[in-house]
Amino acid sequence: MEGAATRTVITSTSSSTDNFSTSTLAYDRHFFRTASGLLVFAEIVFGLLVWMLIAGTEYFRVSAFGWVMFVAILYWVLTVIFLIIYLTMAYNRIPQVPWTTVGLFFNSSATVMYVVAAAVDAASISHAVKGRHNYNCWVASTFFAFLVSLCYAGSTYLSFKSWRSRDEEQ
C-alpha cells in the first residue's frame, strides 16, 4: 500500500496597482518666505530680464552676446526646474540624489558662468551707439547680469552652509 502523497499548492494574486503610487506631490507654501526661496525667485526674474533685454535687440551682430544668451537661458531654465523641484518637494521622493551637493554645484557653476557672461556683456556694449535701443538694452542686461550673479553667489553661500551642516551630521 502506497503512502498518501501530500501536495502543497501556493497561490498568490497580484493586481496591476501593486506598483502604482497614488500619493501626490506635496506643495511647500512657505518656500518663498525663506532666503533660498527669495533668491531663487530673484534669479528667475533677473535672469529672465537678462535674456529678454538682449533678445529684443540685434544681438546676433555681436557674437559675444550669443554666449550671454546661452548662459542666461540655460541657467534660467535649470533654475525654473529647480524651483519646481523645491516647490513640489520632489527631493523627498528621490532620496538617492545628494540634493545638497547638487544644489552647491549648480549654484557655484551658475555664479561663475554668470560672472563671465556679465563681464562679456559689459565688454560688448562698446559695439553699440550710445543712446540707441541696442545700447540701452545691453546696458540694462549687463546690470541685471551682475545682479543675478550676486543672487547666485548668495544661493551658493546658502547651499554651502546646508552642504556643510549635512556633512557634519553624517
Q: How far apart are CA 158 and CA 88, in angstroms?
A: 20
Please report the DSSP string for 54-99 in residue order.
HHTTTGGGSTHHHHHHHHHHHHHHHHHHHHHHHHHTGGGT-TTS-H
Q: How far apart are CA 94 and CA 59, in angstroms?
A: 40
Calculate what percentage of the chain has a pLDDT beyond 70: 83
pTM score: 0.81
Residue 73, pLDDT > 70, answer: yes
Convert the pLDDT of each residue in 90-147 to its tens digit. Answer: 888 888 999 999 999 999 999 999 999 999 999 998 877 776 778 899 999 999 999 9
CB-CB neighbours of 22 under 10 Å: 5
Q: Whose grid coordinates read 526674474?
A: 45
32 in Cβ contact with 38 (< 8 Å): yes
Overall residue count recorded for the chain in this entry? 170
